[in-house]
Amino acid sequence: MDILALNCGSSSVKYQLFDWKKREVIAKGMVERVTVGDSFIIHEVPGRETYREEYECPDHKVAIQLIVKTLTSKAHGVVKSMDQISAVGHRVVHGGEKFTRSVMINETVLDAIKEVQHLAPLHNPPNIAGIEAAQANLPDVPHVAIFDTAFHQTMPEHAYTYPVPQEWYEKHGVRRYGFHGTSHLYVSKRAAVLLGKAPKDCNIITMHIGNGVSHSAIKNGVSVDTSMGLTPLEGAVMGTRCGDIDPAIPGFIMEREGLTPKEIDGILNKKSGILGITGEYTDRRDVIEAAEAGNTRCAMALEIEAYRLKKYIGSYCAVLGRLDAVVFTAGVGEMGWLIREKALENLEHIGIKLDKEKNRKTMTRKQETMITTPDSAVRVFVIPTDEELVFTEDVVAILEETYTDHMQFKYSFAESTFQRK
């Protein structure tokens, strides 16, 4: 059984083909610059050289046609025909309150996803375009939607409700939803294994830090709070997103600069965060290098990001009461030892004793590592995330009709015998 996972962004399509029987990735890659011109595909197969081909993709339908062409190519492919694909799993960023778990896509489900696309106007439209394009290219294959927001639907009402007029929620769905749910699910389950406990017995703070950043407070195995809100703009400092700011700032700047709502939204999403502070960088490696060379704005960006991370650890520790572990994941979380060190400094009073030497050596996306000392009351782990594996297991379980709530469902990676390939 081969499962194709698709993650369609506004100008890219990421894909992974997974052999469920062998439990291994057959191929993965990305089509970049979809809809914007000069598009190309990067195709990776274990044991082979990476393949790159320039191919104009004016829309997602052509991009997925290119993926199909590449996967079945005699020279670079891995399957004889797409008949070998058992199902396709699609990442959908926003499911609103309609979806609390992954679902098989039918016309009703697709209509429901379209009904909430105004809650994620930068993300859901390309997700929908990808679903429709994949259905057109693979019409006889089951398609499954996996929602970023689903994992956080266990938040209590007092955690997801904003202190704004209640009719905003009733009429427009204004509330906290949260994102990166599949990543938080995966690393929290892995952390429970590393702690030697069942997920229901664990209180964990998970910190997904990449270009997009979100944190989650997980109590007894379920999300009770998360940093992103109605949209992925709220929360921590991110690559180009501002995160938490005074809500009066947008209106103030709109008035002073004569900006429209669309223009200010674009600035807060695409020109703020690390980019806004440094003026030129989003990649934390570039920021660190520039800071070491004396760039004061980059040095300040690192301090701001680490300070905000520390604040979230403290606030979620208060929410959870007993804290078993903190988990860092995603690109910066897995590779950024300096940012982890700054965020975890002077937290001995809440039981975190960082092993600085071990933390500095932990710069890998392939290994799970504990970076606290053996006597640390709270353990801190660096755990590479694997959202595509969550996609795949959800799809297979739905096909086999064994899928249920994640606290009841037995994911392979939640077992002590699981080995990451």
Q: Catalytic residues, which ones?
A: 148
CA distance 37 to 33: 6
Q: Calculate the alpha carbon distances from 41 to 17, 27, 216, 322, 402 in Å.
A: 15, 13, 34, 47, 35
Cβ atoms of 302 and 336 closer than 8 Å: no
- Partner residues linked to 27 by β-bridges: 17
> What is the DSSP secondary-structure string of 224-292?
EEES--SSTTSSS--SS---S--THHHHHHHHHHT--HHHHHHHHHHS-HHHHHHSS--SHHHHHHHHH
Number of neighbouring beta carbons within 10 Å of residue 142: 16
Residue appearing with tokens 């092993």? 355
Q: What is the dihedral of CA 93, 94, 99, 101, to 10 degrees?
A: 20
Cβ atoms of 152 and 292 closer than 8 Å: no
Residue appearing with tokens 């993650």? 7
List the beta strands (DSSP E) in 33-99.
40-44, 51-54, 85-92
Any idea what DSSP says for residue 412?
G
